[in-house]
Each structure stands twice: as structure tokens, then as C-alpha cells.
Amino acid sequence: MDTKAFKRSLHHSENYHRKGFGHQAEVATQLNSEYQSNLIQEIRDNNYTLTLGNVTIRLAQSFGFCWGVERAVAMAYETRKHFPSERIWITNEIIHNPSVNQRLREMQVEFIQVQDGNKDFSVVESGDVVILPAFGASVQEMQLLNDKGCTIVDTTCPWVSKVWNTVEKHKKRECTSIIHGKYKHEETIATSSFAGKYLIVLNLKEAEYVTNYILNGGNREEFLAKFSNACSAGFDPDTDLESVGIANQTTMLKSETEQIGKLFERTMMQKYGTVNLNDHFQSFNTICDATQERQDAMFELVEEKLDFMLVIGGFNSSNTSHLQEIAEEEKIPSYHIDSVERILSENSIEHRQLDGSLNITENWLPDGEIIVGVTSGASTPDKVVEDVIEKIFELKAMAVV
């Protein structure tokens, strides 16, 4: 499929919307009252610090809702206002935050269900309104919805669209897109649908495996088995790695994407010589600013003396888990929770570990004076962070006034 031509024609269709519907002011008031927090604003204004009794909270200098998420949620709210009686669907979670998704359910925005690993679009009918979430949707989904005669409200973050444009450029130059991401993540699924030949690498270790294959060859069957879910159909490591371009899932660890880019650049230089590099390697910066700022703020915060870190965000939020990774690397005890309900008592907290498993840690809240680092992922409303901070004070027998 000519994905570029399809996208161009979709953008000209009168059933396709990627801007709001003129209800911005009304929606902004509603969003402020539902998701903003006076307490968090106070802490921001007080140099990101709040001390009450023996508890000091240190907030990261950049955290929480990013521009792309705010925009997507506002567009979803506007869609409900603009189409008060139409059936409205969303192809996936609008963002990775349970409270925001729940709020949309309450507004009668219905989520497309997954049956046996596939989304069931049979429920969607001509004339229905379908919202595409902040991390986008695959080109096949867009085509299907367009063919059904739906009204499409596309909230895809422009940073994600930028990555799609990048893989389109790779395709035009006939090079394979090396996508640093998680092959099961919706954003990466969408990005790969716009790519020609592609290979998804999860981390530096997998990238090293690939570059080693480029330089030294290896076991082709083993390679294909290893990346069986993470490459384009018919991918051949012996012929499809002669020219590569780098792209990423926008929420990956920035430093790792950079390392992977440099590794492939060095590899192609070594294999084909510096003068031929441009024929074998393409790189465009596709890391989004918000992800970068939140990670940089986290690197600064973990330099401080902290008793532990609370990392707040949806359990399927990639950018949140990468924030926790930074705390883990610094050997700071850290707990990734998605809501205040995970704090079961002063003695126990339920949290997600980096391997994705849930764990309950006992005696997590130290006695006496404590300094708690707090950050939250790009899809976490300040209200959720406020609830967690208030709970800490409550457990330490402090009331926030």
C-alpha cells in the first residue's frame, strides 16, 4: 500500500479531523477541574519542594501531562461535545492512564474490544465517530475505518507523526528502519505499519546482536527466530541490513536510542567506510521533547539524597517505566504505582517492577525524617500525584492544610 498517498487523501477527507471543534475554552475549564491540582501547583511554585513535619517531598522539575497528552484528552472531550448523540469509539486507551480512560467511559466513549489478540471492529458502523489515541493507529486501522464511512478524530501526537514521516523517508531511500521500541506497543505497531522493511530492537543488547550480525554474519535461523515478532514480512538479515535508518518509539530511554544510533553508525562506517556512510546509514532525531525533559529532570533528582522514589503512571506506560529505570540504576528504592490505591498501608505498597510483574513490598515507608522523590509519566494527571502525596503525609500522621 502507498501509505503516504493514503494518508494524504485521508487528510483531505471531510470525515477526518485532527484539530479541535471550537470548544477549547469550555473543555479547558472542565479538564482543569478534573485533572489539575492546587497542591501540585503550590509545590511547583515552591521550588518543587514541600516539607511538612518530618516529610519532605521533592518533585522532579519536569513531570506529568505532556503537551501531546493534554491535546489528545482535550480533543476527546471536544469530540463528545461536538457529537453529543453519535456513537463514539476509541481504538485503544486514549493515553496510558486508568483514571482518564475511566472518565471517557463515563462520557459514553466506547473502547474497541480485543478478541483473541485482534481488535473487533465489527461493532463499528458507518456514521460512527472513532477517536484515534495520542500514540496513533496503524495505517490498516485507519483504512478500515475510512472504508466503513466513519468520522475519524485523529489525536495522534505530532511527535509520533514525525516518526512516521521518518520511516517514510527510510522507505523512499530503500533502507531498513531500525525501530528502537517495544514490538507490542501500540505506537510501535503504528510506526511499523508506515515503514517498508523494518526491524524492532528493544534495547542496546538486541542492537549489538544485530550489528554483530552485520559485521560478522551469524546464524540466520536464530536471527529470524529472535526477531520473529519484530520484523517486516519476508525480512532477510543477509540482504536487508545493508542500509539502515534509525527511528524510535518516542517514549524510549533517550540515552539508549542515541547509543543505538551511534552503534549502527559506527558499524556501517566499519563495514562500508566513512566515505560511503550516507549510502548505508540515515539518522533523524525522533525523540520527543517531553520524554527528554522528564528523563533529564529525573537524572537531576536522583543525584539528591532521597530515601525512596515514587514513580506514578499507568502500568502500561512506557515512558513511566523508563523513569523508574533511572532510579533503579542509581540504586534508589523506587515504587512504580498507578494510583493512590496501590499504597495499601504504611506497611505495604503494591507496585510494578521493571520486568512488568506486580510486587507487594512490606515496610516500605521508613520511620522518622524522610525525603521522598516524586515524578510521574507523561500521561498522569496532577490530581493522581496529589492523592499520592497527601497519602504519604497522612500515613506519616501529617495533615495537609
Q: Give the catalytic positions in this structure.
A: 187
Q: Is 247 in the site for ligand SF4 (CB under 6 A)?
A: no
Rounded distance, CA 162 to CA 195, Å?
13
Closest contact distance (angstroms) between CB of 186 and ligand SF4 is 11
Neighbour count for residue 126 (Cβ, 10 Å):
9
Query: Which residue stretch of 40-48, 104-112, 152-160, 206-214 sits at the interface with ligand SF4 (rule: CB under 6 A)?
Result: 152-160
Rounded distance, CA 247 to CA 162, Å?
10
By CB under 6 A, the residues from 108 to 137 that bind ligand SF4 are 134
Give the SS3 label for residue 59: strand
Residue with nearest beta carbon to ligand SF4: 68
Q: Is 291 in the site for ligand SF4 (CB under 6 A)?
A: yes
Query: Which residue stretch of 63-71, 100-108, 189-197, 227-235 sits at the interface with ligand SF4 (rule: CB under 6 A)?
Result: 63-71
Q: Are 376 and 385 in contact (CB under 8 A)?
A: yes
Q: Are 31 and 77 in contact (CB under 8 A)?
A: yes
By CB under 6 A, the residues from 300 to 359 that bind ligand SF4 are 319
Residue 25 burial by Cβ neighbours in a 10 Å radius (0-12, 13-18, 19+): exposed
Count the residues of the shown chain that bind ligand SF4, applying the rule CB under 6 A: 15
* Angle value at C-alpha 299, between 296 and 301, nearest 5 degrees: 110
Largest CA distance in the chain: 67
Query: Which residue stretch of 169-177, 206-214, 254-262, 287-295 sits at the interface with ligand SF4 (rule: CB under 6 A)?
Result: 287-295
Closest contact distance (angstroms) between CB of 318 and ligand SF4 is 9
Q: Which amino acid is at 262?
A: K
Closest contact distance (angstroms) between CB of 319 and ligand SF4 is 6
Rounded distance, CA 313 to CA 304, Å?
22
Closest contact distance (angstroms) between CB of 60 and ligand SF4 is 15
Q: Are 54 and 368 in contact (CB under 8 A)?
A: yes
Selected from 50, 59, 60, 69, the binder of ligand SF4 by CB under 6 A is 69
Q: Is the CB of 240 or the CB of 382 nearer to ligand SF4?
A: 382
Closest contact distance (angstroms) between CB of 76 and ligand SF4 is 13
Rounded distance, CA 85 to CA 71, Å?
23
By CB under 6 A, the residues from 164 to 223 that bind ligand SF4 are none
Q: Is the CB of 251 or the CB of 267 nearer to ligand SF4?
A: 251
Q: Is 297 in the site for ligand SF4 (CB under 6 A)?
A: no
Which is it for strands 244-248 and 55-59: parallel, antiparallel or unpaired? unpaired
Task: Provide CB contacts within 8 A for 98, sequence distance 6+.
Answer: 314, 338, 339
Residues that bind ligand SF4 (CB under 6 A): 66-69, 134, 157, 159-160, 250-251, 288, 290-291, 319, 378
